[in-house]
């Protein structure tokens, strides 16, 4: 890989809108996308990805190792919080360590969506089952982190039961939207997808630009909270995704994934949640500090993966797998 590959991704239309949002905050512009429009954008992108993934899955079925990939995705989501928790609890309180572990074990739908745009622009196909993998990787990390929190926090006065936490993890809005759209796409197939393609497909990249513009604005506003995070937090937010990406690439090779599937799986392993996890932690671990884990995932890991990570992971996959 050379510098032109990184520059090409940096100059991607969607990525540039992300940095436009960050620059707007840097120059103290009043540019913003009013609420609740960003929530609509998020739901639209999840719907679009889900229904197309379900349609693709209806064509490919669950053969050719798809079941094994889905099982490995769930396993990876549960494994990452365990090993990261024991690293994090040396530097943070048990509640913050558990919340951070959940953050880096769960996944970022927006990073996944950006990777979809990257593959589409490079004409690299991927299977619809990777959408299912993304949806299935949200909850195990949250559940694993809450279990660790309850085991190691002797002063837990929170009455939230594990079963309630599991229910919340699976009924969170983004999970319902992506899984529901996936199932609908699986049921209606290609013929049904064609009827919504002008909305679900043709508008996708334009809405992604506006969504990433808003994400750039949000990320830039969160940067101020990183001053108190310290060098360890910043290093963790970059090094752990790289380690998880390396594990993901090795597993992709073992599972004989194609280039597109391998990149999507690696991106899922390397991403960090800043939507589902904060919502879950607010209920399950209320003493955790979102001023730590949200800026780390949103202001460091997300931009790193979008600008540098995706093209680097793709290069490594091309080198070591294909």
For 136-148, what is each residue's pLDDT tens digit?
Answer: 887 788 888 888 8
Q: What is the pLDDT of residue 55?
A: 84
The structure's pTM equals 0.78
Residues 245-260 have a mean pLDDT of 95
Q: What is the pLDDT of residue 170?
A: 66
Residues 119-144 have a mean pLDDT of 85
Residues 160-168 have a mean pLDDT of 64
**Do the Cβ atoms of 275 and 42 come closer than 8 Å?**
yes
Cis peptide before 73, with omega less than 30 degrees from 0? no
Residue of higher predicted confidence among 276 and 257: 257
Q: Is the pLDDT of residue 265 over 90?
A: yes
Q: What is the pLDDT of residue 255?
A: 93
Q: What distance in Å separates the CA atoms of residue 63 and residue 183, rounded to the nearest whole number?
A: 17
**Do the Cβ atoms of 145 and 124 come closer than 8 Å?**
no
For 27-75, what is each residue's pLDDT tens digit?
Answer: 999 998 888 888 888 788 878 878 887 887 787 677 768 889 989 999 9
Q: What is the pLDDT of residue 40?
A: 87
Q: What distance in Å separates the CA atoms of residue 141 and residue 268, rounded to the nearest whole number?
A: 12
Give 115: exposed, middle or buried? Use CB within 10 Å, 0-12, 13-18, 19+: buried
**How many percent of the chain have pLDDT more than 70?**
87
Residue tagged 């990570």 (tokens): 309
Q: What is the pLDDT of residue 102?
A: 92
Q: Which of 3-17, 39-53, 105-119, 134-148 has the highest mean pLDDT?
A: 105-119
Q: What is the pLDDT of residue 168?
A: 63
Q: Is the pLDDT of residue 262 over 80?
A: yes
Residue of higher predicted confidence among 3 and 77: 77
Residues 100-111 have a mean pLDDT of 91
Give 246: exposed, middle or buried? Use CB within 10 Å, 0-12, 13-18, 19+: middle
Q: What is the pLDDT of residue 288?
A: 83
Q: Is 270 helix (H, G, I), strand (E, B) or coil?
A: helix
Domains identified in the chain and CATH numbers: 9-21+36-320 (1.20.1530.20)
Q: Is the pLDDT of residue 174 over 70?
A: no
Residues 297-308 have a mean pLDDT of 88
Q: What distance in Å separates the CA atoms of residue 73 and residue 39, rounded to the nearest whole number?
A: 27
Q: What is the pLDDT of residue 78?
A: 93
Residue of higher predicted confidence among 183 and 219: 183
Residue of higher predicted confidence among 196 and 274: 196
**How many percent of the chain have pLDDT more than 90?**
30
Task: Work out the mean pLDDT of the chain and round it to a whole number.
Answer: 84
The pLDDT-based confidence of 202 (bands split at 50, 70, 90) is confident
Q: What is the pLDDT of residue 267?
A: 96
Q: Which of 108-117, 280-289, 309-318 has the highest mean pLDDT?
A: 309-318
Give 124: exposed, middle or buried? Use CB within 10 Å, 0-12, 13-18, 19+: middle
Lowest mean pLDDT, pick from 7-16, 84-93, 282-291: 7-16
Q: Is the pLDDT of residue 169 over 70?
A: no
């Amino acid at each position: 890989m050379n510098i032109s590959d990184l520059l090409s991704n940096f100059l991607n239309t969607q990525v540039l809108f992300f940095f436009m949002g960050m620059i707007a905050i840097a120059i103290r512009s009043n540019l913003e996308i009013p609420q609740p429009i960003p929530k609509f954008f998020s739901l639209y992108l999840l719907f679009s990805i889900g229904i197309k993934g379900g349609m693709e899955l209806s064509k490919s079925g669950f053969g050719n190792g798809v079941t094994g990939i889905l099982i490995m995705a769930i396993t990876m989501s549960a494994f990452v919080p365990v090993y990261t928790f024991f690293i994090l609890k040396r530097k943070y309180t048990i509640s913050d360590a558990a919340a951070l572990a959940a953050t880096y074990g769960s996944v970022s739908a927006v990073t996944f969506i950006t990777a979809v745009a990257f593959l589409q622009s490079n004409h690299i196909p991927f299977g619809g089952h990777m959408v299912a993998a993304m949806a299935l990787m949200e909850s195990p990390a949250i559940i694993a982190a809450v279990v660790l929190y309850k085991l190691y926090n002797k002063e837990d006065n929170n009455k939230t039961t594990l079963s309630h936490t599991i229910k919340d993890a699976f009924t969170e809005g983004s999970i319902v939207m992506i899984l529901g759209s996936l199932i609908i796409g699986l049921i209606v197939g290609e013929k049904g997808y064609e009827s919504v393609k002008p909305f679900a497909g043709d508008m996708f990249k334009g809405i992604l630009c506006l969504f990433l513009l808003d994400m750039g604005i949000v990320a830039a506003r969160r940067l101020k909270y990183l001053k108190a995070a310290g060098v360890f937090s910043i290093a963790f937010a970059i090094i752990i995704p790289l380690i998880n990406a390396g594990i993901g690439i090795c597993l992709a090779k073992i599972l004989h994934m194609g280039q597109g599937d391998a990149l999507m799986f690696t991106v899922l392993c390397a991403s960090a949640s800043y939507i589902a996890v904060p919502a879950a932690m607010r209920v399950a671990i209320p003493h955790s500090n979102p001023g730590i884990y949200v800026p780390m995932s949103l202001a460091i890991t997300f931009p790193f993966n979008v600008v540098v990570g995706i093209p680097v992971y793709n290069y490594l996959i091309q080198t070591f797998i294909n």
